[in-house]
Amino acid sequence: MEEQRPRLLVVKAAMTVHGGAARDLLRNLPSVAEHFEVRFACLNLLDSQRTMLLSQDIQILEPYYQWQPNDGLLNEISAGQERSAAAAWKEHSSVHAAIEWADAIHLTGGNGSMEFPAFVPPGKPLHLHFLESKPGIHDDISHLNPDGSGGWRPKLMHLLQSRQRARIEKSFRGFAENQNWSVSANSEFSAQNLHRIYGIKGGVLYPSVDLSEFSREESRGEGAAFAALGLGESGSYAVTVGRLSRFKGIYEAVDHLVGSGLNLVVIGGGKEGENAALRQYGERCDVGVKVLSGIDSESMRAVMRRSAAVIGLAHGEAFGLTPIEAMAIGVPPIFVDEGGYTETVVDQLNGRLLERGDIEAWQRALEQAQDAGTRERWARNGMERIEEMGLTPQEHAKRLAAIISTEG
């Protein structure tokens, strides 16, 4: 007779912004489902995500009306996004039944997620996977325009956000006070921020890369996917991944390619007007810029695989999936020597970690990354780093199962 698995409710509010947190959660869920009977609850979901979850026989709990997180100045001042998420969770009746059903709950942070614990009884084991503090609440960078202008905004916004900040800090209080609730950060860097900002000491549960998805071997459809994008010759560009914001350092990626002879491909980007302004900035810097929004995993792999390097200049990146995805497919990762990047990239061993603003050092690193011997050595060491740190869905699920069993 098959042993009954513990019942785990997995929760993340916002899935339609298909960033690193959503990608990581989806790639880990099938392995988590090997240890638990899983139900997944959210406030919004993409069709492609729904199809993937259903293909894994994971029961989905989603509201009839998809929650749309609002942004803008008024919402920042009034904590409108948090209040609307709280209302959406309150009306999400199937979630309340699932809370009673579950032996434990695993909550991934992000927009709308921190309103969920208010509906969890204090005696129910609850584990939070902390990614980062909400952008702009405890940092200045997030309030700047993508090109770095708007230096007057952070001080004013911090004054206006006092209500929102108090609400968010209150949502973390239960994890500091309740022995049945625990927190794991997604990196040592995030764990330090968790303690510094909220006074909570948590462990580390690293994200993962699926080596069957980000394989060293090219998939059958990658060639056609790449050709359809019209990016030119392989090796003629560097790739950066992220939304168009100062926090993600997209304009700075252009700056650091000046004089390298490489163009920049941005996977992510922003609104069309913002993308157009970025392209114009690239023209002034003599760096061609192409923005790819909403591409699928196969196209993403094709673009990364044919790049000279994958680069990143985000400010205070909590972990950064992009470096390990680059390592997995064998492309040089070149990243700023800050934040969570420093936990996966080892300088000169499996990529480069460089000082922000040292353009000459970046140019030398980009030249180094185009050497065949160096690329092969970094690729081999990158795979060893992934294995050494246990950055696979299977290891992630084992660690989560150990955390949940300890709570129970």
Q: What is the CATH number of domain 7-208+392-407?
A: 3.40.50.2000
Q: What is the CATH number of domain 222-389?
A: 3.40.50.2000
SS3 annotation, the chain: CCCCCCEEEEECCCCCCCCHHHHHHHHHHHHHCCCCEEEEECCCCCHHHHHHHHHCCCEEECCCCCCCCCCCHHHHHHCHHHHHHHHHHHHCHHHHHHHHHCCEEEEECCCCHHHHHHHCCCCCCEEEEECCCCCCCCCCHHHCCCCCCCCCHHHHHHHHCHHHHHHHHHHHHHHHHCCCEEEEECCHHHHHHHHHHHCCCCEECCCCCCCCCCCCCCCCCHHHHHHHHCCCCCCCEEEEEEECCCCCCHHHHHHCCCCCCCEEEEEEECCHHHHHHHHHHHHHCCCCEEEECCCCHHHHHHHHHCCCEEEECCCCCCCCHHHHHHHHHCCCEEEECCHHHHHCCCECCCEEEECCCCHHHHHHHHHHHCCHHHHHHHHHHHHHHHHHHCCCHHHHHHHHHHHHHHHC
Tens-of-pLDDT digits for all 408 residues of the chain? Answer: 457 899 999 999 999 765 788 999 999 999 999 999 999 999 999 998 999 999 999 999 999 999 988 777 677 777 788 899 999 999 999 999 999 999 999 999 998 999 999 999 999 999 999 998 888 888 999 999 999 999 998 898 888 888 888 888 888 988 999 999 999 999 999 999 999 999 999 999 999 999 999 999 999 999 999 999 999 899 999 999 999 999 999 999 999 999 999 999 999 999 999 999 999 999 999 999 999 998 888 999 999 999 999 999 999 999 999 999 999 999 999 999 999 999 999 999 999 999 999 999 999 999 999 999 999 999 999 999 999 999 999 999 999 999 998 765
- Provide the whole-model pTM: 0.93
Cite the residue boundaries of each domain of the chain with CATH code 3.40.50.2000: 7-208+392-407, 222-389
